[in-house]
Structure formats: C-alpha cells, structure tokens
Amino acid sequence: MATVTLESPESRFRQLAGLIRDAINRGEYRPGQPMPSEDDLAAEYGVSRRTVNQAMRILRAEGLVYVQRGRGTIVRPVPVIRRDAVGRQQIREAGGARGAFQAELAALGLTARSDVQVSEVQAPEDVAGLLAIEPGAAVLARARRMFANDVPVMLATSYLPLDIAAGTQIAQEDTGPGGVYSRLADLGHGPAELAETVTVRPPRDGEAAALGMDAEQRVYSIRRTAEDAAGRVVEVNDMALPVHQWELVYRWAAG
C-alpha cells in the first residue's frame, strides 16, 4: 500500500495527514485501536518525526484521533450526535422520560448520564443584561455535564432569576417530569419564545479538561434564551459542545 507521495505543492505534513485520514476512513486503522507510533510512521513515509507529529496535530484538531500520553495515539470512535433543537423541546413537553438528551442518545444506541450542580452565583455581566437584573446580582445557576457512554459531550449552564426560581423545585437537583421548563410553566413563566445563538471557539480553560479536548479543537458555543409569554427572559443557557461530536438541527415553518 502506502501511496507514498511527498513532493509537490502541498506541504508534507498536510499530505501525510491526508493519507492517514484516508487510511482511517478506509478502516485501515480501527476505532479504539492505537495507530503506529510516530517514529514508525516517520520511517514508513520517509519524513522526520516532527513532520509526522505536525500531521497528527491536524487529525487531532479534527477530532479523528486522540492521544493518551505515554501510551499512543488512538483512533476515535466517532458517534456524531444529532441535536434537534426544536424537536427536543417537544420531547420535553411530552414529558419524555428522562429528558431530550437521553432520547437523542438512545436513538444512537448510546447511554446517557449527566451531572448537575445547583448554586446561586453572581450573574455574568451579559447574562445579567439579558435577564434584566442588576449587574453583579445573584442568579440561580444549574451547571450540567452530559456524557455519552461515559464520554463527556456537553457542558450546559442555565441561569434563572431568583425571584422566579428561588425556593422552587427548579433549585433542586431533580426538577421533576418535564424539567425546568415545565416548572417554569407551573409558575406562570412557561417559555413561549426560544432563541439560540451559535458560535464556534476554542474551549475555555475549564472546558478543555471537562470535555477531554485539545486546545486546537473547537466547541459550539450555544446561548439559548427563553422568553415567557410576557416577553420576559426567564432563562439563559450557555452550552459548550465539541464540534466533532455534534450536528445541530433547526427546523421552522416558512413565512
């Protein structure tokens, strides 16, 4: 095998990354299995280890492989999770068992698990602005970490105004059937309008560790705001999802 090129216009490390990427996609290197060592690849392709390392850096950034220090480079088993932002609300409304996240993963044959940490924190400046709260005032924060087959795939922190949520089941870890949105509805602040703003950025300090990511990889940074019927923003939810693990779907009626 070995389409041993390495001349021409494209830099060697990019060509090499391409060759290895193709090999992975052909199934030549199997998901969950370690790749040959960088020294071996360097010998095989007739380049320096530095060049191999640079090529692997590309594949890592793409989420195709990951490294276990001291052990080797492993091909990532890549179950891309499809997140239907609109549909998930409907599942929630329907009282979907343990939430939309679990339903999404179940459809892929994955097991879902999640953490929650509830606390009162000083509202980040922009969140305070959206919630129309004094800058620096306290809000209820629900910080969740979600796992698929015990691999972390999402961080989500939900901010809610204290005058609505304090002392309610929303301030409990378990928010009951239908989750936070159903409790908001019980309190007369059921979300009527939802909006999500999507950007892509490098993981922040904590996030890279919490999501098991490299600094060169990227997350979707999604900010959702929920307005009740009166037009008041009753929730701001900041999410971080590794881009190589997710696909986002939005649907709406024309007109």
Which residues form the interface with its own copies (CB under 8 A)? 14, 58, 61-62, 85-86, 89-90, 93, 181, 190-202, 215-216, 218, 220, 226, 243-244, 247-255
48 binds, among its own copies, DNA, none (CB under 5 to 8 A by kind): DNA
Contacting residue, 18, 23, 53, 207, with DNA by CB under 7 A: 53
Nearer to DNA, 67 or 194 (CB): 67
Contacting residue, 23, 31, 49, 62, with DNA by CB under 7 A: 49
Binding of DNA by 5 (CB under 7 A): no
Binding positions for DNA, 61-90, rule CB under 7 A? 67-73
What burial class does residue 231 get, using C-beta atoms within 10 Å of its C-beta: 0-12 exposed, 13-18 middle, 19+ buried? exposed
248 binds, among DNA, its own copies, none (CB under 5 to 8 A by kind): its own copies
Residue 163 Cα to chain centre, angstroms:
30
* Closest among 137, 131, 155, 136 to 145, alpha carbons compared: 155
Binding of DNA by 51 (CB under 7 A): yes
Q: Which residues contact 53 (CB under 8 A, 6 or more apart)?
A: 38
* Closest among 8, 15, 6 to 59, alpha carbons compared: 15
Binding positions for DNA, 6-25, rule CB under 7 A? 11-14
- Give me the least distance between CB of 113 and DNA, in Å please: 23
Fill in the DSSP letter of residue 221.
E
Q: In whole angstroms, give the CA distance from residue 23 to residue 44.
A: 14
Listing DSSP states for 151-162 in one string gives EEEEEEEEEEEH
Interface positions with DNA (CB under 7 A): 11-14, 35-40, 46-51, 53-54, 56-57, 60, 67-73
